[in-house]
């Protein structure tokens, strides 16, 4: 849909399977501490029933822990989810940082990076829904966590752009300001939220990668005057 209307498709340097594998490399680690086990329990609960329906009872059942242990580590369900959210952001930041594959055409690098990142984002549709849509109803704490997360991703965008500028000195470009980078990341997430709300999560990477790439690319290049 969107992809047909946007610019041409570059060769896929990273396949969807590889992007998924990159992500899973990080998620299959065995939890080592009770706290980690509770966090993975939270992830399992969300995958099973969604965030809204997940209770502390679900979390401790999946984590094979007691309620007492839960409350030794977290003040409530949201507290636990927000820490899981930070971990997901850590992993997305890592995936985004490692998503760049140098290409002859600079724009192609953004398509590949966006696609890799978006595949990572939708590996678990339930977590994507929780982190992008459901999360927003958790109050000010969650909104702060969201802003922090988006800011970190925006920093990666700036970094990717700077590296690209060094590889493609022939294309007139300019640094992306943190303000614009955050706006772009938020804009992309808005688009992802729309797809989540429409239950089109599976279509996100292929349809939205060209849109995200175009935006990230255009903001940093200087059009001939």
Partner 1 sequence: MSATPAPPSVTTRERLVRGLAAALAERRYVDVTMNDIVRHARTSKRTFYEHFADKEECFLELYARVCDGLYTAQAARVDPSSPMRDQIRTLTEVYLETLSASPAVSRAILSDIIGGGDACLVARRREHERYADAMRLYFEHARREQPDAGIRSLSLESAAALVGAINELVLRAFDAGRADELVALAPTIEDLLRSMVLDRR
The footprint of partner 1 (CB under 8 A) covers 2, 5-6, 133, 136-139, 143, 147, 150, 177, 179-180, 182-184, 186-191, 193-194, 197, 207-208, 211-212, 214-215, 218-219, 222-225
Q: Cβ 14 to partner 1, closest distance in Å? A: 22
Q: How far is the CB of 47 from partner 1 (least distance, A)?
A: 21
Q: Minimum Å distance from CB 189 to partner 1?
A: 7
Output the CA angle 184-202-102, nearest 5 degrees. Answer: 55
Q: How many residues does the chain have?
A: 225
CB neighbours of residue 20 within 10 Å: 16
Q: Tokens for 43?
A: 């992830």
CB of 122 to partner 1, least distance (A): 16
Nearby residues of 68 by Cβ (< 8 Å), 6 or more positions away? none
Q: Which pair of tokens denotes residue 173? A: 């470009």
Q: Which of residues 65 and 153 has its CB atom nearest to partner 1 in the complex?
A: 153
Least Cβ distance, residue 179 to partner 1 (angstroms): 6
Alpha carbon distance 14, 121 (integer Å): 15
| Minimum CB distance to partner 1 smaller for 63 or for 118 | 118
Residue 57 or 143 having the CB closest to partner 1: 143
- Nearest CB to partner 1, comparing residues 91 and 214: 214
Q: Which is nearer to partner 1, 24 or 137 (CB)?
A: 137
Residue among 35, 51, 52 nearest 43 (CA): 51
Asked if 136 and 142 touch (Cβ cutoff 8 Å), the reply is yes
User: Least distance to partner 1 from the beta carbon of 132, Å?
Assistant: 11
Q: How far is the CB of 98 from partner 1 (least distance, A)?
A: 24
Rank residues 122 and 184 by Cβ distance to partner 1 and give the closer one.
Answer: 184
Alpha-carbon distance 122 to 8, whole Å?
23
Contact 103, 152 (CB under 8 A): no
Separation between Cα atoms, residue 32 and residue 179, nearest integer Å: 38
Minimum CB distance to partner 1 smaller for 69 or for 151: 151
Centroid of chain to Cα 175 = 23
Token output for 42: 């939270």
């Amino acid at each position: 849909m969107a992809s047909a209307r946007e610019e041409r498709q570059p060769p896929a340097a990273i396949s969807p399977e590889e992007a998924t594998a990159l992500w899973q490399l990080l998620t299959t680690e065995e939890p080592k501490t009770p706290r980690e086990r509770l966090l993975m329990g939270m992830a399992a609960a969300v995958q099973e029933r969604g965030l809204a329906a997940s209770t502390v009872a679900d979390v401790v059942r999946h984590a094979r822990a007691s309620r007492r242990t839960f409350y030794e580590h977290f003040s409530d369900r949201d507290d636990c989810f927000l820490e899981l959210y930070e971990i997901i952001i850590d992993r997305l930041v890592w995936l985004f940082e490692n998503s760049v594959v140098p290409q002859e055409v600079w724009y192609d690098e953004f398509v590949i990076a966006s696609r890799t990142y978006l595949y990572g984002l939708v590996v678990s549709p339930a977590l994507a829904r929780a982190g992008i849509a459901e999360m927003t109803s958790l109050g000010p704490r969650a909104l702060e966590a969201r802003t922090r997360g988006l800011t970190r991703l925006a920093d990666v965008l700036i970094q990717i752009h700077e590296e690209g500028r060094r590889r493609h000195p022939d294309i007139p470009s300019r640094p992306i300001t943190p303000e614009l980078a955050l706006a772009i990341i938020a804009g992309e997430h808005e688009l992802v939220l729309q797809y989540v709300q429409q239950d089109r999560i599976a279509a996100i990477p292929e349809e939205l990668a060209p849109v995200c790439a175009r935006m990230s690319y255009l903001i940093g290049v200087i059009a001939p005057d």
